[in-house]
Amino acid sequence: MTDAPVPRPADVPLAPPQPTLRERWARRPPSPGFLVGAGLLAAYLVAALSALIVFRRSLDQLPRNLAWTPPFNPIGPSAAHPFGIMPGFGVDLFNAIWQATPWDLAIVAGILAIDVFLGFFLGAIAGLDEGGLVDAIVTFVGDSLGSIPTFILAVVAFAGLLTVAPNVVGLPVFVAVFGIILWPTMARTVRERARVIAHQPYIEAARASGASFPRILVRHVMPNSVGPVLSQVPLDVAPIFFVLSAFPWYYNCQLPGGPPTPPYTSPVPYLAPSLPFFSPLPSGSFPEWGYLLGFGTCEGFSFPGGFDYWWMYLFPLLAIVGLGLALGLLCDGVERWRRFDR
């Protein structure tokens, strides 16, 4: 009796080799949108790193020049001041936005990191464990937290913590609180995708071949559920800057009867920038885009003919929208590339 010939390892057909990044790039170059987004984000990173060096001595304090503060006339954009002057702060707006870049990138990155970590992980577990205890808990908590507008819950939670320990609670706690509050939306969209993936034949095959729950989760479900994360991340930038700008705007603008409305009276009594008690920023001269936008909108329109002082709100607004667009274009490009590459 002779045994059947056992094929040598060399005879076993090998799986086709995975294409390298260079080959993928050559086969499908990234979209123009991806390149624009990546370029914009790189510019923001360069600005943040250079600001760390240039403003290293007083990164958390805007340098106030008393010669530019009211009642002097506001100075518009020029060669010396490309973004003009913000009189209330007494700062060159270009420098202020530049100085704020590392802070804002850190705030956004921190919040989104917590948001993505919790939302992605919990959403994927819930989707794979559909109908199970984890799914029930995640869905219940997510739906309950999601019943309150994000910005209200974030501010209320932060204000509550601030009343306990005003000297301890600051920007890092705000980042943590906001990230924790943002996750339900992310988890909900990830869960829907993970549910669909959990019923795919290859998941059944992996389960039948003895793959454990964590392995299926990490190896199969999570990599295939990245799409909702990529589409949700740019949207989650909006509530962050809404909170950072809307409350300083309202607080600085508030008069008996509310924010200033035309016709304006002179002299305007609200030109000194200040922060509400629950603000996460450590001081009233802290460089941050949302604060600059909130105060700039108030100050710009506090003068008769608010559109003549457009630079006070336009440039902080462009910085915020530019960051959101950079993330949006980058995420869209990555998602399309992944879809094609599959």
Residues that bind other proteins (CB under 8 A): 31-33, 140-141, 143-153, 155-157, 159-164, 188, 231, 234-235, 237-239, 241-242, 245-247, 249-251, 254, 256-259, 261-263, 276-278, 293, 297, 301, 306-307, 313, 317, 320-321, 324-325, 328-329, 332
Shortest spacing between CB 265 and other proteins, in angstroms: 13
Shortest spacing between CB 114 and other proteins, in angstroms: 17
Nearer to other proteins, 23 or 143 (CB): 143
Nearer to other proteins, 38 or 59 (CB): 38
Q: Which residue has the tokens 């509400």?
A: 276
Q: Which residue has the tokens 């020049």?
A: 65
Kindly report the number of other CB atoms within 10 A of residue 69's CB atom: 17
Shortest spacing between CB 75 and other proteins, in angstroms: 21
Q: Which secondary structure element, helix H or strand E, spans residue 92, and what is its range? A: strand 91-92
Shortest spacing between CB 7 and other proteins, in angstroms: 39
Which of 308, 336, 334, 318 minimizes the C-alpha distance to 73? 308
Nearer to other proteins, 94 or 242 (CB): 242
Tokens of 14: 């090998």
Shortest spacing between CB 109 and other proteins, in angstroms: 17
Under 8 Å between Cβ of 292 and 100: yes
- Which ranges constitute the DSSP H helices of the chain? 21-27, 32-54, 93-128, 133-145, 150-164, 171-198, 201-208, 213-216, 222-224, 226-253, 289-300, 311-341
Shortest spacing between CB 9 and other proteins, in angstroms: 41
Contact partners, residue 197, CB within 8 Å, separation at least 6: 127, 128, 203, 220, 221, 224, 225
Strand partners, 258: 255
Nearer to other proteins, 45 or 246 (CB): 246
Nearer to other proteins, 102 or 228 (CB): 228
Q: At what angle do helices 93-128 and 133-145 cross, to 10 degrees?
A: 140
Q: Which residue has the tokens 């501010």?
A: 155
Which amino acid is it at 254? Q
Which of 140, 112, 47, 166 minimizes the C-alpha distance to 324? 112
Shortest spacing between CB 277 and other proteins, in angstroms: 5
Shortest spacing between CB 2 and other proteins, in angstroms: 46
Nearer to other proteins, 217 or 240 (CB): 240
Shortest spacing between CB 23 and other proteins, in angstroms: 25
CA end-to-end distance (rounded Å), the chain: 48
Nearer to other proteins, 43 or 255 (CB): 255
Which of 288, 265, 114, 263 minimizes the C-alpha distance to 184? 114
Nearer to other proteins, 287 or 333 (CB): 333
Nearer to other proteins, 110 or 328 (CB): 328
Contact partners, residue 18, CB within 8 Å, separation at least 6: none
Rounded to the nearest angstrom, the gap between the alpha carbon of residue 123 and the centroid of all alpha carbons in its chain is 19
